[in-house]
Chains A and B, each alone.
Chain A
Amino acid sequence: MIWVSWRQHRGQAAACLALIAVLAVYAIIEGTSMRTAFGNDNLAPCLARSQGTGCETAVGAFMNEFSSEVNIAFWSVALIVPGLIGVLVGGSLIARELEFGTWRLAWSQTVPRARWLAAKLALVTGGLIVVGAAMTAVITWYRAPMDQLTGRLQHNIFDFEGLVPTAYILCAFGFAVLAGLLIRRSIPAMVAAFVPWLAIRLVIEFVFRSHFMTPLTVADLCGPGGPNGPGNCGMGIGFVPQATGRVGDLILSMNGNLITYQPASRFWPFQFIEAGIFVVLTAAALGTAVWLLRRRATWTA
């Protein structure tokens, strides 16, 4: 079954490899100039010394040069691409066999159909994990200098790094496999999987993520009503909240002098929580697909 799965999906594997290669070329070209600028501006020592206070101009210049590219180039792509990869690979996995009648061939060999599906899912899932990890590694390397200024908990940063991009791919894949089994046609299955995937993805990002763990609160000493007043605190850089003074802390709300925030150090716990949600969704979808394939008695009606 390893060879069979490989033979049937090697075209998709090649396409994913090409995508990673394009991404890597872009990342190397852009990332190199970003690293050079970051070094030339002496931003690293400044951040280490004072979390950016005192080198606001250099930070501003650096962000002006690179942040728009990072955000615009990656935002749309990074939002949609994991879902596209997942549904393109998953939508055809069963539906293609049903569309072309090859299920009669595949399921009349000496491999029970549930085992046939389980073996294929295991191998393709493994492949997608490799693809997701490779893409994440490229993006993380590329963004490394920027991450030192912004932290990794912000929207459109958190979603490109760590574990979640791979989990997004797997979830879209799982939805599409199940949709392909139920709808029996590849393209409609891809659409039917992509829409709920995107909805869940955005709802988790914008509704649930900030509450994964109980936020911390801190009194804002530099706020308008604070004891220090706005005038006595340094300007700081945009991504360092004045209240906490640490790069990457994510401010959720300000209520008078009280600031609610998620500390930058929660990047990995949050990654595990969000990736865990998507992995559970994936497992549920794939498990249902195997169970349905085993249980359903007919494909001809």
Chain B
Amino acid sequence: MTIDKGISKIPALRAEHLGRRYGKAWGLRDCTFDVPAGAVTALVGPNGAGKTTLLEMITGLLRPTEGQVLVFGETSRAETAAALARVGYVAQDHPLYRDFTVADMFRLGRAMNPGWDQQLAAGRMEALGIPLGRKVKRLSGGQRAQVSLSMALAKRAPLLVLDEPVASLDPVARTELMRDVTDVAAATNLTVLISSHVVAELERFCDWLIVLSRGRVQLAGPVGELLAAHRLLTVPRATPDGDLPEAAVHRSDENGRSLVVVRAGPDGPAPPRPGWQDGPVSFEQLVLAYLQRPAAQTTEDNPAPAARRPGPSTKEATR
């Protein structure tokens, strides 16, 4: 898990004040972040948070209403083949032509992508035991996901974007697919962006994190840094919000106690008061804290917002 990689280089992916409006409502607004080359990034957010909107603007399928996406320093637009060639995309639900065979899908890939790597695609099918002659409609969900992933990989694009790749898969297939993606990424220095509304397990595969909620980026950065920059306080349930440190991000109440995620100051964690426990925050706690932060706390473009007291508590979400 490298933290500093890419700082001196052009970011693999840069969003600059990116926004997309649907009619009068903004699906995504003022989205700004950098992802370095080689990072495997988890884009986490509830359904409807704007994840697909963001990914489609990265792939060039959707045009931004404002701002822009730079992929390896070049603007991402559908109009040019060069922009399309930079991004491999696995869309949600793995769309494939139902009456095509797997071999047909790969032939389409070869016909439509100059950099197509047939050996990679066919080799993955052989390793997975998916017959090339089988029609897409006869494949299981997991197999379809693998065909889609193989097509995106065989395109040989330096940036791979996956929209909810595991949402429809069972836990075994889910883990296998994620491991496949990260193995290939590590072996070929691929930059990967994976959206998911399932937080569990992401920590094992991703070294970069973007939390998206209500059309805004709530948190973005390298996982290790983000975890180091937050602490989890366990305080008595009766503690009023006003007594919590200003750096509190989110409070969730449990039986008899409250868990409060706080940002650690530059001098380390704030000294706990009597009766408070101070400990490291887990990946899942960190993500949920930013997802559940009340809307009022979302500031314009600062993913780690200025000092504000947490609003009304919410129950710990069960996922």
Contact = CB atoms under 8 A, between A and B. Distances in A.
Contacts of B78: 107, 112-113
A111 interface: yes
A112 B80 contact: yes
Contact of B84 (A102, A109, A300): A109
Contacts of B280: none
Interface in A87-106: 100-105
A211 interface: no
A73 interface: no
Interface string B88-118: 0101110111111000100111011111000
B213 interface: no
Interface stretch (A3-11, A152-160, A221-229): A3-11
A114 B111 CA distance: 16
A112 B59 CA distance: 12
Contacts of B104: 7
B84 A108 contact: yes
> For chain A, which range describes its interface: under 10, 10 to 19, 20 to 34, or 35 or more residues?
20 to 34
A297 B108 CA distance: 25
A109 B112 contact: yes
A294 B89 CA distance: 20
A108 B91 contact: yes
A102 B111 CA distance: 16
Contact of A110 (B22, B93, B97, B155): B155
Nearest to A115: B81
> For chain B, which range describes its interface: under 10, 10 to 19, 20 to 34, or 35 or more residues?
35 or more
A112 B79 contact: yes
A301 interface: yes
A4 B111 contact: yes
Contacts of A294: 79
A114 B98 CA distance: 23
B80 A104 contact: no
A1 B107 CA distance: 10
B85 interface: yes
B52 to A, nearest CB: 7
B53 interface: yes
Nearest to B25: A301
A52 B59 CA distance: 72
A40 interface: no
A108 B80 CA distance: 11
B186 interface: no
Nearest to A102: B95
A111 B108 contact: no
A100 B65 CA distance: 26
Interface in A113-144: 113-114, 116
B309 interface: no
Nearest to B115: A110
Contact of A298 (B63, B87, B89, B109): B63
B112 A112 contact: no
B165 to A, nearest CB: 13
A300 B53 contact: yes
B113 A109 contact: yes
Contacts of A11: 99
Given A110-B85, A112-B80, A105 B113 contact: no
Contacts of B98: 100
B113 A110 contact: yes
Contacts of A2: 111
A105 B62 contact: no
A300 B84 CA distance: 19
Nearest to B113: A110
Contact of B95 (A1, A105, A114): A105
Contact of B62 (A109, A110, A297): A297
A102 B155 CA distance: 17
Given A110-B114, A300-B53, A301-B22, A105 B96 contact: yes
A109 B109 contact: yes
B283 to A, nearest CB: 29
A1 B114 contact: no
Contacts of B312: none
Interface in A261-301: 294, 297-301
A2 B112 CA distance: 10
A110 B89 CA distance: 11
Contact of A4 (B84, B93, B108): B108
A114 B80 CA distance: 10
B23 interface: yes
Nearest to B100: A7
Contacts of B91: 101, 104-105, 108
A208 B252 CA distance: 77
A104 B100 contact: no
Given A104-B91, A104-B95, A300-B52, A111 B61 contact: no
Contacts of B113: 109-110
B97 A8 contact: yes
B56 interface: yes
A114 B79 CA distance: 8
Contacts of B100: 7
A192 B109 CA distance: 33
Given A108-B89, A110-B114, 9 more contacts: A7-B104, A104-B56, A105-B96, A105-B151, A110-B84, A111-B81, A297-B62, A297-B65, A300-B62
Give me the 10 closest cross-chain CB pairs, A-B, nearest first: A297-B63, A104-B91, A109-B112, A108-B89, A101-B95, A102-B95, A110-B113, A110-B85, A301-B22, A105-B95
8 contacts: A3-B111, A108-B60, A109-B108, A110-B114, A111-B81, A112-B78, A297-B63, A298-B63
